Structure 1
Amino acid sequence: MSHPTAGRTGTTTRPPARAKGAAPPRPDVPDAQWNDWRWHMRKRITNVEKARDWLALTPDEEKAIAESAGTYRWSVTPYYASLMDPQDPACPIRQQGVPSLGELAAYSGAEVDPVGDMFYRKTNRVVHKYPDRVIMLITEACPVYCRHCTRKFHTTDVSGTYFRDDEGASYEEDLRYIADHPEIRDVLLTGGDPLSYQDGKLEEIVSGLRAIPSVEIIRIGSRFPVLLPQRITDGLCEMLARYHPVWLNTHFNHPKEITPEAAAAVDRLLRHGVPVGNQTVLLRGINDDVPTMRTLMTELLRIRVRPYYLYHCDNVTGVSHFMTSIEKGWEIMAGLQGHITGFGVPQYVLTTKIGKIPLAQPYFTPVDGGLRLRNHHGQEMVVDASVHPLTEDDLR
């Protein structure tokens, strides 16, 4: 199948629509380039002209790209573009990467910082929200600026920033804060995407954290395994392995994102001792149905990625059009519990200024003398308190 290549000379034609389940097309570029993450970063799609080499843009998409210019950054890697259906604007990959008019609409209750990053910020980069762990917001850069990003204002609003000082400012204050708070045992590097940095720069940060005795765990939040898995090189993995324990959490949101390249990237991390977890965002029109979510979770297990969270989409300015109801989330969780293996069922949570709040409906109800239990088929039974005591008094 022919496929245009962004940035190449000569005439290009848009690729035909793919049959359902067909493998994504590969651009006609040498393997050495396609497998080089730096090539993809240089060739990112950032305007209508480049996008037309990959997609049959609709008038609404072109209007959204034009009207969001100067407000929201836009960037898509050739790899991620190759997963998009070039003819279908409802493609779940395309919706995550191409601006839409929904981003420019006003929604009740929308905020630029609904999770309270700025409220809990202690230094230029450190956000200390939970007692024993912090996040370090180390960059605004991403390979693809996901249209549903919780930090959309900070990473894609061209006038927005979460840095008190410059992103390139010294890390001395940040590391000193963590060292001065020995209760901090877990540090999550996020942003933006930390893997946007070259290995050397990233190692400076990781080694600085590992030198702090009270820091037990270093975590990296990165969507590179999804958006540009070529970034997960042996060299990167070898560097991370020098600073264990290091964990990585990523964001697969749809089964189409689980490709051979993504599976290979996960395998490289695992072979170097880096566990990989997944934090899916519940997104209207993308994964808000039980069959899609069930397939996603089972496919994640197949490539040895542990489902961790199912995030309810935050009411973020420029993101609200992706929100579903909480009832929809309950429906999906009911379609997972008992239908796939237990460790493949993520925890459904809503992120708020007071922390992550579990939203899953309970499968039990206290009743007089015991518990009413309900299974995934809706069958119910009552267990007497003499069999399974409900309170400490029941044990006496």
Structure 2
Amino acid sequence: MSEHIFHGKLIPDSDWYDWRWQFRNRITTVAELTESIDLTEQEKQEITQCLGKFRMAITPYYASLMDPTDRNCPIRMQAVPSNLENRILPCEMADPLNEEGESPVPGIVHRYPDRVLFLVTHQCSMYCRHCTRRRLVGEEDMVISDKEIDTAVEYIRSKEEIRDVLISGGDPLTMSDEKLEHILKKLRSIEHVEIIRIGTRVPVVLPMRITLELTNMLRNYEPIWINTHFNHPKEITKDSMDACARLVDAGIPLGNQSVLLRGINDSTDIMKDLLLKLVKNRIRPYYLYQCDLSQGLGHFRTRVETGIEMIHHLQGYISGYAIPKFVIDAPGGGGKIPVNPEYIISIDDNEVVMRNYKGDLYTYPQPPDIRYEKEFHLNAREVCDENDNLHNP
């Protein structure tokens, strides 16, 4: 039996590992925050000003990972508001991905032909400072109504091309098991829905939410895939990895989506450490996102070249399955666009000239043009016949 200190009090395991206790005791005010980290009076004023526009909530668990004195702590930077969030650049938008413009019914975003995004809540256990949906998430702890669920499900049922549904929000795993199961059961009643995915940051910021009861319930609705959101190696803890292991052991494949964040993970060494720890724990790196153009995120965005160079310096030095796809979610609703290092130097009818991860050049000969395919096969047949004659006189 161990104890944990939170706001100067000893918290027993029975409370600390109760996800509902964690949720009830989230840090939401400057006064509560000062009990976890050192803040100057100016910082308190700036955070208060920021909270007038964007909400804060930090679980006691995630707060325990913050360095109380280091203002550049990568955990702290993801959780604690900054006065830089009040600076709205001309290019920034409330809805940079045009999700509202591609929402045929409330809660549904239908951008790609065979899949939809199903937003079931505005509530998260922690409100990340780099959140793309900050226009919605944290404004109110809204969970979708039964009527809205029925409307969304009927839309999915009416579109037979939809085979994949991504449940997101907010964070779907902040809902009760019963509410989440209600949604899963309705989706599983649709014959053409093959895959259900859940996007969640709960294993990172509230790992005690991944209970045996939850994993047993999810197993009833396979195939389910879960994508989580680790951004930094310091988030890889025993508690977070135990939570992920419970999901994987229940037969649920885990992927990870990271956001490239200035001053947090925009170093190849840091990213390499994160990726290797993820795959060691059976979590497949999926996407590395360029930070979106949501309002107040300019200080988090890196240059695009940073991500390209990072992927270039990872390629060949760690296993390919450990390298995520670097993407920009195109402003205005263009979807995810892969942005990769340039490995093809030239390509023509005869050959492809390539550069490998070390910078060395290699040539790959093109196959014969289709116009010469018949001649190619005839010549190949003649060679085979000649060899047969030599070996079988």
Superposition TM-score, scaled by structure 2 size? 0.90
The aligned residue for residue 18 of structure 1 is: none
Aligned-pair identity in percent equals 44
**Matched residues in 2 for 1:287 and 1:239: separation?**
35
- The secondary structure found in structure 1 opposite 2:285 is strand
The aligned residue for residue 240 of structure 1 is: 218
1:42 pairs, out of 5, 8, 24, with 24
How far off is 1:179 after superposition?
0.4
**Matched residues in 2 for 1:61 and 1:179: separation?**
50
How far off is 1:362 after superposition?
3.0
After TM superposition, the structure 1 = structure 2 runs for residues 137-148 of structure 1, keeping only pairs within 5 Å, are 137-148=119-130
The aligned residue for residue 136 of structure 2 is: 154
The aligned residue for residue 97 of structure 2 is: 115
CA contact (8 A) 1:4 1:53 kept: no
Q: Deviations over 1:61-104 (max 9, x none)?
A: 32332112232111000000011101111100000000001110
After TM superposition, the structure 1 = structure 2 runs for residues 285-364 of structure 1, keeping only pairs within 5 Å, are 285-352=263-330, 353-364=333-344
The aligned residue for residue 6 of structure 2 is: 5
The aligned residue for residue 145 of structure 2 is: 168
TM-aligned CA distance change 1:385 to 1:5, over 3 Å = same
1:370 pairs, out of 348, 351, 360, with 351
Name the amino acid aligned to 1:215.
V
**Matched residues in 2 for 1:244 and 1:48: separation?**
42
RMSD of aligned C-alpha atoms? Answer: 2.0
Name the amino acid aligned to 1:361.
P
Q: Does 1:196 align with 2:174?
A: yes
The aligned residue for residue 209 of structure 2 is: 231
Q: Does 1:187 align with 2:169?
A: no
- The secondary structure found in structure 1 opposite 2:132 is coil
**Matched residues in 2 for 1:210 and 1:191: separation?**
19
- The secondary structure found in structure 1 opposite 2:286 is strand
After TM superposition, the structure 1 = structure 2 runs for residues 12-31 of structure 1, keeping only pairs within 5 Å, are 12=8, 28-31=10-13
- The secondary structure found in structure 1 opposite 2:101 is coil
CA contact (8 A) 1:60 1:101 kept: no
Superposition TM-score, scaled by structure 1 size? 0.89
The aligned residue for residue 215 of structure 1 is: 193
CA contact (8 A) 1:79 1:227 kept: yes
TM-aligned CA distance change 1:382 to 1:59, over 3 Å = farther
**Matched residues in 2 for 1:116 and 1:249: separation?**
22
TM-aligned CA distance change 1:293 to 1:98, over 3 Å = same
How far off is 1:2 after superposition?
10
- The secondary structure found in structure 1 opposite 2:47 is helix
- Segments of structure 2 that go 5 or more residues without pairing to the other structure are 377-393
- The secondary structure found in structure 1 opposite 2:346 is strand
CA contact (8 A) 1:307 1:343 kept: yes
How far off is 1:298 after superposition?
0.2
More helix by share: 2
How far off is 1:59 after superposition?
4.1
- The secondary structure found in structure 1 opposite 2:45 is helix
Q: Deviations over 1:334-382 (max 9, x none)?
A: 1211111110000000002111000112311334431111111111122
Name the amino acid aligned to 2:39.
L
Name the amino acid aligned to 2:285.
P
Name the amino acid aligned to 1:96.
Q
The aligned residue for residue 239 of structure 2 is: 261
CA contact (8 A) 2:328 2:337 kept: yes
**Matched residues in 2 for 1:118 and 1:266: separation?**
32
Aligned length: 369
TM-aligned CA distance change 1:144 to 1:381, over 3 Å = same
Q: Deviations over 1:27-75 (max 9, x none)?
A: 7311111111111001100111111111112445323321122321110
TM-aligned CA distance change 1:367 to 1:38, over 3 Å = same
- Segments of structure 1 that go 5 or more residues without pairing to the other structure are 7-11, 13-26
Q: Deviations over 1:270-295 (max 9, x none)?
A: 11111110000000000001000000
Q: Which moved more, 1:57-66 or 1:173-182?
A: 57-66
- The secondary structure found in structure 1 opposite 2:36 is coil
The aligned residue for residue 20 of structure 1 is: none
Q: Deviations over 1:298-345 (max 9, x none)?
A: 010111100000001111102221000010011111121111111000
The aligned residue for residue 46 of structure 2 is: 64
CA contact (8 A) 2:4 2:13 kept: no
**Matched residues in 2 for 1:213 and 1:126: separation?**
19
- The secondary structure found in structure 1 opposite 2:100 is coil
Name the amino acid aligned to 1:179.
R
CA contact (8 A) 1:58 1:89 kept: no
